[in-house]
Amino acid sequence: MPAVVIVGAQWGDEGKGKVVDLYAEAADMVVRYAGGPNAGHTLVVGDVSIVVRLIPSGILRPQTRCVMAQGMVVDPAVLAGEITALEARGHVIAGRLFVSDRAHVILPYHPLIDGLREGAAAAGAKIGTTKRGIGPCYEDKAARRGVRVGDLRDLRRVEALVASNLRAWSPVIRDLGGEVPDVARIMAEIAPLAERLRPLVTDTSALIEGALKAGQRVLLEGAQGTLLDVDHGTYPFVTSSSAVSGGACAGAGIGPTRIRRVVGLTKAYCTRVGEGPFPTELDDAIGERIRKAGHEFGSVTGRPRRTGWVDLPALRYAARVNGLDGLALTKLDVLTGLSEVRACVAYDTPQGRTRELPVDALETATPVYETFPGWSEDLAAARAIADLPEAARSYVRFVAAQVEVPIDIVSVGARRDETITLRDAFAANTTAS
Ligand code: GDP
Ligand code: IMO
Ligand code: MG
């Protein structure tokens, strides 16, 4: 049974947690393939809301095995905290959670450097990172000096790597006005965490291949979103990992031939947290209303998310770079009560009007909007497209037609049941209904 990829089609926070948790009901394995604790994926079951940052969003489904694959960067302290919190709620982790020996370890100097850099950056140069050490950790990986999770089996090796890495980073830390941390203190912090995580560590690429060969259903869970991808996003206002669907292969250690379907997630509007261009941003009362109705505050940092209209050229771009087969349209309910709803359909640029996203020239591009009548009905009880008011239905149809990707799911609330499912994730790959 081939794998299904769930990928964010915007700037993150599209509702990956909800959709992965929903699909995980029918999955045997859920694999996170990129990013680290910069992610915050929210799972709502009844009245309980849980945010996972490193652990895959399948963890609430007892039949799934959950894998943190080698494309990830893992902060052992955050992971230990997440495990403790889930176990306290009665979820079984032992024997169900596996961490790649090749994933990289976030060490205390990574968030230190991330925070110092953000603090020192001039206005306009700030990325608005989550300050979780993501960038510096991936830098160490690319510099071929990083500490990998498998290294935690040999603390003497970790100590030598930490000492030499700190020598490399010290001029940077000092230049930013920081204090270079002490190797012994870092090792004292890491040693008990290494002990705790060691039983989870394995060759996860082989584990995933074994599941696929046994005919199991595997979900590959993206983090961040297409426009935050280091290659395809709004560079340099991006994260440091490969967030697109192609990143799922390298990040999980499986070949592209194993992927059956790629589902892209988009909100019915758009948000961005952190700095960087956001042409459809609403800096007005409507934007504030969407922020309130959608609870658009970062699940990691608590920062208010910037809000705006849906960007169809951006979704067409996401459809291209991810090879989207299906769309999951989330948070349609949040638009309820607006007198009209808008969608960006094209851009006016110095070179003329285009339906493409001018991804590297967004500052000089002006969105061209189409306006739709709004609706006032509560959508939370809708379980079929026919249950939606006509205005909401035609908005959904317009988005699918413009992006030229069929809709698999429309989400009308944070809870699992507040969903219109048009196509099951693991259904045979025929045309969507
Ligand atoms: P992720 O990072 O893509 O997993 O998304 P986040 O969890 O950071 O943010 C999405 C937020 O929207 C969470 O608070 C979800 O509980 C919530 N959510 C997801 N789908 C819906 C929906 O259809 N309607 C509403 N109102 N909330 C939703
Ligand atoms: P999920 O998986 C939204 C953003 C940060 C910042 C930029 C770089 O929950 O969708 P980083 O800390 O990665 O170096 O920050 O990327 N960012 C996210 N925004 N959702 C996320 O994850 C994000 N992960 C990183 O706000 O703009
Ligand atoms: Mg999130």
pLDDT in tens, 302-327: 889 999 999 999 999 999 999 999 99
pLDDT in tens, 197-233: 999 999 999 999 999 999 999 999 999 999 999 999 9
Structure tokens at 255: 């070949």
Ligand nearest to the CA of 413: 1
pLDDT in tens, 327-350: 999 999 999 999 999 999 999 999
How much is the pLDDT for 432?
A: 41
State in Å: Cα 304 to ligand 1 middle: 14
240: left (phi over 0), alpha (psi -120 to 50) or beta: alpha
Alpha carbons 10 and 312: distance in angstroms, whole number: 10
> pLDDT value at position 41?
98
186 lines ligand 2 (CB under 6 A): no
CB-CB neighbours of 195 under 10 Å? 11
Ligand 2: which atom is nearest the Cα of residue 228? Answer: 16
Interval between CA 377 and ligand 2 midpoint (Å): 33
Q: What is the pTM of this model?
A: 0.97
How is residue 307 written in tokens? Answer: 């809000």
Residues 132-149 have a mean pLDDT of 98
Of the listed ranges 11-15, 35-39, 110-114, 123-127, the least confidently predicted one is 123-127
**CA quadruple 282, 285, 287, 293: dihedral, nearest 10:** -170
pLDDT band at 430 (very low <50, low <70, confident <90, very high): very low
229 tagged catalytic? no
Q: Which of 173, 82, 67 is CA-nearest to residue 120?
A: 173
Closest residue CA from atom 14 of ligand 1: 42
What does the pLDDT read at residue 302? 86
The finding on whether 37 has its CB within 6 A of some atom of ligand 2 is no
Cα–ligand 3 centroid distance for 353 (angstroms): 33
CA-to-CA distance for 231 and 278, rounded, in angstroms?
Answer: 18
User: Percent of the chain beyond pLDDT 70?
Assistant: 99
What is the rounded distance in angstroms from the CA atom of residue 363 to the CA atom of residue 349?
A: 10
- Strand bridging mode 326-330 / 259-267: parallel
Cα–Cα dist 35/255, whole Å:
19
Residues with CB under 5 A from ligand 3 (ion): 13, 40, 299
Mean of pLDDT values over 42-70: 97
Closest C-alpha residue for ligand 2 atom 25: 38
pLDDT tens, 71-109?
Answer: 999 999 999 999 999 999 999 999 999 999 999 999 999
Q: Is 104 considered catalytic here?
A: no
Tens of pLDDT, residues 366-393: 999 999 999 999 999 999 999 999 999 9
- pLDDT at residue 431 greater than cutoff 60: no
Distance CA(86)–CA(51), nearest Å, equals 10
Looking at residue 298, its pLDDT comes to 86
User: Mean pLDDT over all residues of the chain?
Assistant: 96
pLDDT for res 1: 73
Return the ligand number nearest the Cα of 17: 1
Q: Is the CB of 82 under 6 A from ligand 1?
A: no
* Cα(180) to centroid(ligand 3), Å: 31
- The closest residue, in CA terms, to atom 25 on ligand 1 is 413
pLDDT higher than threshold 80 for residue 355 = yes
Confidence of residue 433 (pLDDT cuts 50, 70, 90): very low
Burial of 406 (0-12, 13-18, 19+ CB in 10 A): middle
Mean pLDDT within 276-287: 98
**Residue 174 alpha carbon to ligand 3 centre in Å:** 33
